[in-house]
Structure 1
Amino acid sequence: MEHNTLKGSFGAAAVAYAEHRPDYAPAAVRWALEPAPGTRVLDLGAGTGKLTGTLLALGADVTAVEPDPAMLTELRRALPTVHALPGNAEAIPLPDASVDAVLAGNALHWFDMAVAGPEITRVLRPGGVLAGLWNVLDDRVAWIAGLERVSGPAAIGPRDTLTNWRTATAHLIDFGASEQSEFPHGQRRTADSLTATLATRAGMLVMPEQEREATLTRIRAYLTTAVTGEFTLPMLTGVLRVRQLSDTASGRERRGA
């Protein structure tokens, strides 16, 4: 499936995304921000504001940037006081050296880093931090491993499980020394609401309708045998963090200006 088709699929499911996708473990967000020189944070590819909300709860001064109008509408509805702007990682609508950290929740893998890397560097202050965060399923749990097999890669891909996310995300950032860590997380779900959550994955959103319905029926049938009532979905928030060196943090230097 073409990258741009997948990347652009979320707007059609913005309301469901806002309802069903999880937030991010506060401990993971704190670790991502730990080296930042201040509290001004850009949530890049902010979607419906799942990461933005966690950042606000931790006291960050957040600007959210999101390219999809429907996703941005949901973000503004949920978090009306947030400074939320249309834009993307390849053309960030912020001044040079204006933020202490750039965070991306389940979004960094969609960026064209050949273009986005210099843009991110441009808006970071010296010593700033870039971090990608992903909520991943804990496939050390037997029924989660079974769910992965039943669901297929359109619903649960290589970035979506603890076993694979480190390898799948390790090389997304090509400047600075990166660090990875995982933090326990969870989400209260039922068989129906977890099925609805998996239905918001990009691979599922672009799937032909008949195949999509068959996949969701298979997932729901499996879950009715694996879980009962309301349960805590075993997850972790994985973080890929780069502490930007002060002598390379200026986009003007990176561009030779």
Structure 2
Amino acid sequence: MTTKMEFAVDMTCQNCVKKVEESLGKLKGIQGVDVSLERGTVVVQTHLPYSEVQETIEKSGKRAVLKGYGDGSVSAVSMVGGTSGFGINKAIQGVVRFVQTPNVCIIDGTVDGLSPGAHGIHVHECGDISAGCDTVGEHFNPYNAAHGGPDDDITRRHVGDLGNIVADNSGRARFRLQDKVLSVDDIIGRSLVITQDFDDLGKGDSSKSKVDGNSGRRLACGIIARSSGVFENTKKICACDGKTLWDERDDALQKVHGNKL
């Protein structure tokens, strides 16, 4: 399942356009690219994670910021950990995006600062992170089912059961999931949680298996909020602090690098 994503790219001339096009042309998994110097945007049709596409654009030497995700679809985003969400370790932070398609919900994210290996990922019922991840409630479970995995039938899983993400040796988990049960309309205002251990998908021997997959402590979480689709975000300067989107991008990168020191 492919998705459209729109990036603001810091381009000043046709040579910039050429460099971006050449960089994306080397990336397998791109179905379409539309580079507009006039708008300062790059629209990509792909099944790849957005972070991989953004990194490829920036390899051309041009700064890039994701502006819109999903073409004419309901989209949402969760800023997990960091300064926007909550995490027991400041190094754990990431962005997870949701977009609704006619058949599935696509979950596309990158989370840094995790221990290598598998970690459970779940939508929880509440969007209250006033006391961290302890106040987000239990897994989103409107049908009162036992805990299961994303491949299970709706009667054998929580709607919020998204399975596992896997962090590499650097602590980064980059993923793109498709879920047949989750609906973006139903999760806006709720929260997303990453756990310490892997989720056994309700198939373990522990009594906790049918509750939360025995996936352990809640490491990081963030509220799920409505986000912009392609061509829906026209912001160039923040009305709150007067920062340009490039200032915001550079500030965010500085915080990430600072947390790793």
Coarse TM-score class (shorter-chain normalised): under 0.3
Greater helix proportion? 1
What is the TM-score of this pair, normalised by structure 1?
0.24
Higher RCO, Cα 8 Å, sep 6+: 1
Pick the structure with more strand per residue. 2
TM-score with structure 2 length normalisation?
Answer: 0.24
